[in-house]
Amino acid sequence: MEMQKLNAIQAINLAIDHAMAADAKVLVLGEEVGDFEEGGILGVTKGLSTKYGSDRVRSTPISEQAIIGAAIGAALGGYKPIAEIMLMNFMTVAMDMITNHAAKLRFMSGGQTGVPIVIRTLTGTGFGNGGQHSDYLESWFAHTPGLKVVAPSNPVDAYGLMRSAIDDPDPVIFIENLASYWNTAEVSGEIVPIGQAKIVRKGADVTIIAHSLMVGHSLAAAESLTKQGIDAEVVDLRTIAPWDQEAVLASVGKTGRAIVVHEAVREHGIGAEISAVINERLFGRLKAPVQRLGGMFSAVPFAKPLESAYAPSAAAIEAAALSIAKE
Amino acid sequence: MLLEIYRRAALIRQNDIRVIKEIRAGRLVTSYYSPRGQEIIPSAVSVSLDERDKICTIYRGTHDMLAKGFPLKPLWGELAGRISGSCKGKGGTMHLTHPESGCMVTTGIVGSSMPIATGLGWAAKLDGQGAVSVAYFGDGAANIGAFHESLNMASLWKLPVIFICQNNRYAEHTSFANSTAVERLSVRAAGYAMPGVTIEGNDPEEMYGAAKVAIDRARAGEGPTLIEALTFRFNGHVLGDAAAYIPSAELEKAKAADPVPKLRQRLLDDRVSDLAGIEEIESAIAERIEQAVAAAYAAPTPGIEEMKRDVFAHELA
């Protein structure tokens, strides 16, 4: 395809469009995904029901269990559904379908049935949406065998990971970020394999490991750190489960210092897992303890000063890097 | 038709007797949710289903699976946790699966057969070949949110789904009266603009008739139906449950009306078959079960490497 300047909303829309054009088995369902309901609250699926018909692009009732159940059933019947759960907190309503069924049917059936579905969901702090519309819950899903979890940080990866997620034979949770939705980039249609991180900034002194919105914050911190003589490498995980151990360990093996950053609550977050593996594999080569930054141990607060303090900032990442750079 | 129903019901009954015998002897180690007393329901439904059609059921579901055509050898292999099981011994009694016979999902979660059967109905509708899906569930599941979400979605989209509630009067240990605000679950169908009927599930003709109407309706593109099939659970919730919460008079009355011997007698009385014919059917079933049991115990258990397989389509490192 021709290079196009797109934001993440447009890139995801284009990826689904391309997949639907290529394979009549690809379906879309979710609340308000059809054009009569404006193609999603922010228009990610705009135009698809008009182009492919409302049999393949189904607006649903507000029924998260039935949405995921219908996706699982359609997958068992030979289709490749992309289910939208409008916001990540609403995934909680469908957890039985996601973790007991989508994740486990392949194993529990001894490989007779698979569930090739994509669950798209949106989240992120910064918009005053409070405690039930902003959470990052990726570690819940990463902790469940049978699920893959991806979280692109930019439109290029959003396109490429969506194409891979749709083609994947197993269920993929596709996490979209609200604050970076409108950032644009030149999208060429490159496919991004699931499970491959990307070094988005090369550096020698410290490795910052991030995904989704935190990649941008990490890059900003890295720029600022150069002024203080610290050369930071930034790894965009892109896929959270299974995460790219090889890329992360190669980078940390080189720099000897690691900071893991995520917007999700720090305690029991994926940073703990990544930090543990770094310690297990690189213990003797680390120059400083692995740092973990994450959301505060509270519900996402409403009041602006609190919400702004909730998730790691570029300044916090910079401070963490400085704290270990001298060791 | 009655003879076809009996073939299935007799298989389910004999199989249940044998499973319980094996568990009591310590040769099978599994939690077991006996379908005793509920055999007629899936037997009478399944004679109107064919190989295109798919079912989802719950942990009390061996009767639904056998009636649909789940073969005995992979079934017993699975009950015994052997590699010869349909799920390579990795699913077990509560997760029996055999897509070739249309047995798509057995869930251990109350109510979860319904959303998935709804999706199978969506796939069937998109395929446009007239296939249907059946969701089997119990009376307890009618009080969980998934029931309501599924019925609404299936009706809204006119999906070819038949929701069959096997109302065996007890949701685990809680009686229907103590758990459910309505006297007849079929009235809930009106809330989702679909036909709903309450019938004697243990009456083969009544069950057959109601299922046939619902299946024909679904095949014709007219949408889903809710069938409340009244029945009774003879062996408590899980095997070993003494079921002290069931008044003994109630249980005795139900057992006195045991639907499987009743159908057998009916076949003889109506001269649908003579005794020799029935006994031939029964001994053939016994022989098949014997072979399946022997094959299961002779098969090896799955190797530890199986834990790395089927988590994903690719094998884990």
The mean per-residue pLDDT over the stretch B106-135 comes to 98
Q: Within a domain: residue B7?
A: yes
Residue of chain B with shortest Cα separation from A55 = B126
A131 pLDDT band, cuts 50/70/90, is very high
Domain covering A198-325: architecture: 3-Layer(aba) Sandwich (3.40)
What distance in Å separates the CA atoms of residue B124 and residue A136, rounded to the nearest whole number? 35
In the predicted structure, residue B158 carries a pLDDT above the cut 90: yes
Determine contact: B145 vs chain A, CB below 8 A: yes
Chain segment A115-126, per-residue pLDDT in tens: 999 999 999 999
Return the pLDDT at A327. Answer: 74
Residues 173-212 of B with CB under 8 A from A: none
Q: What is the residue-averaged pLDDT of chain A? A: 97
The mean per-residue pLDDT over the stretch B179-186 comes to 96
Chain segment A19-57, per-residue pLDDT in tens: 999 999 999 999 999 999 999 999 999 999 999 999 999
Return the pLDDT at A309. Answer: 97
Kindly give, in sequence order, each residue whose CB lies less than 8 Å from that of residue B12, ignoring residues fewer than 6 positions away: B35, B39, B42, B43, B62, B63, B66, B67
Across the interface, do B153 and A146 touch by the CB < 8 Å criterion?
no
Q: Within a domain: residue B64?
A: yes
Which one of A63, A76, A111 has the shortest CB-CB distance to B104? A76
Q: Within a domain: residue B317?
A: no
The one catalytic residue among A101, A133, A211, A217: A133
Give CATH 3.40.50.970 domain extents, chain A: 4-187
What distance in Å separates the CA atoms of residue A296 and residue A40, rounded to the nearest whole number? 30
In the sheet that B103-107 helps form, which strands lie side by side, from edge to edge? B103-107, B54-58, B133-138, B161-167, B225-230, B196-200
Residue B165 forms beta bridges with which residues?
B137, B228
The A-side interface with B (CB below 8 A) comprises 27, 55-56, 58, 60-61, 63-66, 68-79, 81, 96-97, 100-101, 105-114, 145-146, 148, 169-170
The mean per-residue pLDDT over the stretch A238-256 comes to 98
Return the pLDDT at B283. Answer: 98
Give the count of domains, chain B: 1
Give the domain extent around B157.
2-308
User: Residue B148, by phi and psi: left (phi above 0), alpha (psi -120 to 50) or beta?
Assistant: alpha
Return the pLDDT at B67. Answer: 98
Q: Within a domain: residue B69?
A: yes
A1 pLDDT band, cuts 50/70/90, is confident
ipTM over 0.90: yes
Residue B138 forms beta bridges with which residues?
B166
Q: Full-prediction pTM beyond 0.95?
A: yes
A18 part of the active site: no
Residue of chain A with shortest Cα separation from B118 = A70
Among residues A249, A220, A248, A223, the alpha carbon closest in space to that of A236 is found at A248
H or E element in which residue A201 lies: strand A198-201
Kindly give, in sequence order, each residue whose CB lies less than 8 Å from that of residue B270, ignoring residues fewer than 6 positions away: B2
The mean per-residue pLDDT over the stretch A149-158 comes to 98
In the predicted structure, residue B178 carries a pLDDT above the cut 80: yes
The one catalytic residue among A31, A32, A64, A138: A64
Q: Which residues of A touch B107 (CB under 8 A)?
A: 100-101
Assign residue B244 the CATH number of its domain: 3.40.50.970
3-state secondary structure of A306: helix
A326 pLDDT band, cuts 50/70/90, is confident
pLDDT more than 70, % of chain B: 100
Q: A260 — phi, psi (to 5°)?
A: -105, 130
- Is the separation of the CB atoms in B159 and B122 below 8 Å? yes
Q: Who wins on pLDDT, B242 or A105?
A: A105
The mean per-residue pLDDT over the stretch A179-195 comes to 97
What distance in Å separates the CA atoms of residue A124 and residue B165, rounded to the nearest whole number? 41
Q: Within a domain: residue B298?
A: yes
Chain segment B238-277, per-residue pLDDT in tens: 999 989 999 999 999 999 999 999 999 999 999 999 999 9
Return the pLDDT at B218. Answer: 98
Tell me how crowded residue A209 is: count the other CB atoms within 10 A of its CB.
Answer: 31
Across the interface, do A65 and B309 touch by the CB < 8 Å criterion?
no
Give CATH 3.40.50.920 domain extents, chain A: 198-325
Across the interface, do A69 and B123 touch by the CB < 8 Å criterion?
no
The mean per-residue pLDDT over the stretch A167-173 comes to 98
CATH number listed for the domain at residues A4-187: 3.40.50.970
Q: A212 — phi, psi (to 5°)?
A: 55, -140
Across the interface, do A96 and B87 touch by the CB < 8 Å criterion?
no
Q: Which residues of B touch A72 (CB under 8 A)?
A: 115-116, 119
Chain segment B66-89, per-residue pLDDT in tens: 999 999 999 999 999 999 999 999
B181-208 b/e with 16+ CB inside 10 Å = b? Answer: eeeebbebbeebebbbbbbbbbbbebbb
CA A102 from centre of chain: 18
Kindly give the residue spans of alpha helices, DSSP state H, lying in chain A.
Answer: 8-22, 48-52, 64-76, 95, 105-108, 138-142, 155-167, 213-226, 245-255, 270-282, 304-310, 314-325
A133 part of the active site: yes
B206 pLDDT band, cuts 50/70/90, is very high
Among residues B74, B55, B286, the alpha carbon closest in space to that of B82 is found at B74
